[in-house]
C-alpha cells in the first residue's frame, strides 16, 4: 500500500495562481485601457486608503525594511543552494521553495494591482483634452520664458531662500506636499488624501544610485531621497505622491508634480516646481539651439535658480558612476517591461504636457507675465525629437533616476 505523499507548503496550483492572475489582469489592461482607467478610478484607491494609511502610521520606510529583508533572504537562499550542492542530504530541507514561489507570486499580484494595471490606464492628456502636438515656432521658448518668470516670482517671495539646505523645513514640506496634491484632486481624478512621504534612511546610497525617490507599490509609500539638494525635494515629494495617486507614467507624474507645486501656497514649492519643469524645458531647448543661443537662455535664469542648478550639478556629479548608470539601465528596462516604450526618456515627455497645458483651454490658468520669448522667428522645434537625450530629472519606476551625465548644462544645471 502506497503511503500518501507528504505535502510541503502550498501546492503547485497555489504557487502559480498569482502569476497567472497577474498575467490575465495585465493582458486585459493593455488591450482595454478604458478598463484600466475604470480600475484606477474605482478599485485602486482602496489600496492607498487602506494599506497606505496603515503604513503611513509608521514613520519608517517599510519599503526600505522590505528591501533589507529581501536582501537577507536572497543571501540565505544562496547559502542554502550552495549547501544543497555540496551536501545532497540537505535538499530534503528544501520544502520552502513552494512557499517562496507563492510569496513572490503574491508580490507580483500586489504589484499588478497597485502599479502594473495603472501603467496602462488612459493617458492623462486624453482624459483632460490636453492638445499634445509638435510645438509651433517659438512655443518652447515662450514656455521657457514663463517658467523663468514663475521661478523668479517664487524666488522673490522667499522660495529660493526656503529651499536652501534647511532640513527643519522637511516636516512642513511633507505636509504641504499632501495638501498640494489634495487641492489638485478638486480638478483632476486624484485621490483626495495621502499618507505622508517618507525620507529614506539610506538616502546617501540613493544618491550613489542616482535616485531621487521611489514609490513602493507593495507598501503604498512615497519614499524620497532626503540627502539631495533641498530645492529638489518638494517636486520629488509630489512626483512620488502622483504615483501613489495611481499615475504611474513618469511624464504624467512629472506633470502632476509640477501642477501641484505651481498651485501650492508655499513659495518653496512653486520655486521647486518651476525649476523642475525648467530642467526639462532647457534640455528640450538645448537639443534645438546653438551653443550661443543656449547660453543666452541660461543667462535668463534668475540668479538664485542658476546658482541652485550649479550646486545641484555639483552634488549629483560627485555620485556619477557605474552604479548610477546601472540603476538607470534597470529603470529603463523596468519601464519598458511596463509598456513604457520610451523607457527612462519618458520623464522628458513632460514637456509635451507642459506645452499642451499652456496652449489648450487651460491657458487661462497660466497667469504669468512674461513676453520675452513670446515672439521668435526661428523654429526651435522643427520636428526634432527633443525628448531624446532628456534631462532625466527622473524619479520613478524601480527608483526614479537622476542622470547627471546627461544634464542640461555642466555650467549651471544639475540634478
Binding site for Zn ion (CB under 5 A): 250, 253, 395-396, 400
Shortest distance in whole angstroms from residue 243 CB to Zn ion: 5
DSSP 226-243: SSS-GGGHHHHHHHHHHH
Shortest distance in whole angstroms from residue 251 CB to Zn ion: 9
Contact 383, 366 (CB under 8 A): no
Looking at beta carbons only, is 29 or 253 nearer to Zn ion? 253
Looking at beta carbons only, is 55 or 395 nearer to Zn ion? 395
Looking at beta carbons only, is 172 or 329 nearer to Zn ion? 329
Contact 364, 291 (CB under 8 A): no
Q: Which residue is nearest to Zn ion (CB)?
A: 396
Task: Pick the closest to residue 245 from 32, 60, 52, 402 (CA basis).
Answer: 52
Looking at beta carbons only, is 313 or 396 nearer to Zn ion? 396
Give Cβ neighbours of residue 228 (< 8 Å, ≥ 6 apart).
203, 206, 207, 212, 236, 312, 315, 316, 402, 415
Cell numbers 533572504: residue: 73
Give the three cell numbers for residue 393. 530629472
Cell numbers 547660453: residue: 295
Render the burial of 215-234: b for 16+ CB within 10 Å, e for the rest: bbbbbbbbbbbbbbbbbbbb
Looking at beta carbons only, is 235 or 409 nearer to Zn ion? 235
Taking the CA atoms of the chain, what radius of gyration do you get in angstroms? 23
* DSSP type of residue 134: P
Shortest distance in whole angstroms from residue 47 CB to Zn ion: 17
Looking at beta carbons only, is 40 or 395 nearer to Zn ion? 395
Contact 206, 399 (CB under 8 A): yes
Looking at beta carbons only, is 266 or 331 nearer to Zn ion? 331
Shortest distance in whole angstroms from residue 174 CB to Zn ion: 18
Give the three cell numbers for residue 151. 521661478
Shortest distance in whole angstroms from residue 401 CB to Zn ion: 9
How many whole angstroms separate alpha carbon 345 and alpha carbon 407? Answer: 13
Amino acid at each position: 500500500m502506497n503511503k500518501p505523499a507528504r505535502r510541503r507548503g502550498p501546492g503547485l496550483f497555489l504557487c502559480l495562481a498569482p502569476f497567472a492572475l497577474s498575467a490575465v489582469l495585465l493582458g486585459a489592461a493593455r488591450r482595454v485601457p478604458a478598463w484600466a482607467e475604470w480600475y484606477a478610478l474605482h478599485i485602486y484607491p482602496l489600496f492607498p486608503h487602506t494599506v497606505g494609511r496603515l503604513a503611513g502610521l509608521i514613520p519608517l520606510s517599510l519599503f526600505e525594511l522590505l528591501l533589507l529583508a529581501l536582501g537577507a533572504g536572497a543571501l540565505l537562499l544562496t547559502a542554502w543552494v550552495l549547501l544543497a550542492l555540496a551536501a545532497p542530504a540537505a535538499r530534503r530541507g528544501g520544502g520552502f521553495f513552494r512557499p517562496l514561489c507563492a510569496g513572490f507570486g503574491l508580490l507580483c499580484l500586489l504589484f499588478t494591482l497597485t502599479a502594473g494595471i495603472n501603467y496602462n490606464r488612459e493617458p492623462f492628456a486624453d482624459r483632460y483634452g490636453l492638445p499634445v502636438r509638435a510645438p509651433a515656432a517659438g512655443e518652447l521658448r515662450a514656455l521657457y520664458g514663463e517658467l523663468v518668470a514663475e521661478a523668479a516670482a517664487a524666488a522673490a517671495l522667499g522660495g529660493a531662500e526656503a529651499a536652501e539646505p534647511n532640513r527643519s523645513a522637511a516636516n512642513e514640506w511633507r505636509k504641504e506636499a499632501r495638501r498640494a496634491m489634495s487641492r489638485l484632486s478638486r480638478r483632476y481624478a486624484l485621490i483626495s488624501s495621502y499618507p505622508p512621504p517618507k525620507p529614506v534612511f539610506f538616502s546617501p546610497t540613493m544618491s550613489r544610485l542616482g535616485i531621487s525617490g521611489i514609490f513602493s507599490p507593495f507598501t503604498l509609500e512615497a519614499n524620497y531621497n532626503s540627502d539631495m539638494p533641498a530645492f529638489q525635494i518638494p517636486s520629488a515629494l509630489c512626483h512620488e505622491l502622483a504615483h501613489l495617486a495611481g499615475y504611474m507614467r513618469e511624464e504624467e507624474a512629472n506633470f502632476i508634480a509640477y501642477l501641484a507645486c505651481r498651485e501650492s501656497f508655499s513659495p518653496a514649492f512653486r520655486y521647486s516646481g518651476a525649476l523642475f519643469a525648467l530642467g526639462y524645458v532647457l534640455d528640450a531647448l538645448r537639443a534645438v539651439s546653438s551653443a550661443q543661443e543656449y547660453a543666452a537662455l541660461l543667462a535668463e535664469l534668475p540668479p538664485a535658480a542658476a546658482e541652485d542648478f550649479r550646486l545641484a550639478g555639483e552634488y549629483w556629479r560627485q555620485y556619477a558612476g557605474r552604479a548610477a548608470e546601472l540603476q538607470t539601465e534597470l529603470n529603463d528596462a523596468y519601464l519598458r517591461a511596463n509598456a513604457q516604450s520610451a523607457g527612462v526618456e519618458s520623464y522628458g515627455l513632460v514637456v509635451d504636457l507642459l506645452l499642451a497645458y499652456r496652449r489648450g483651454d487651460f491657458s487661462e490658468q497660466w497667469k504669468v507675465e512674461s513676453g520675452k520669448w513670446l515672439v521668435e522667428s526661428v523654429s526651435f522645434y522643427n520636428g526634432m525629437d527633443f525628448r531624446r537625450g532628456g534631462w532625466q530629472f527622473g524619479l520613478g519606476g524601480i527608483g526614479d533616476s537622476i542622470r547627471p551625465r546627461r544634464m542640461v548644462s555642466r555650467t549651471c544645471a544639475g540634478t
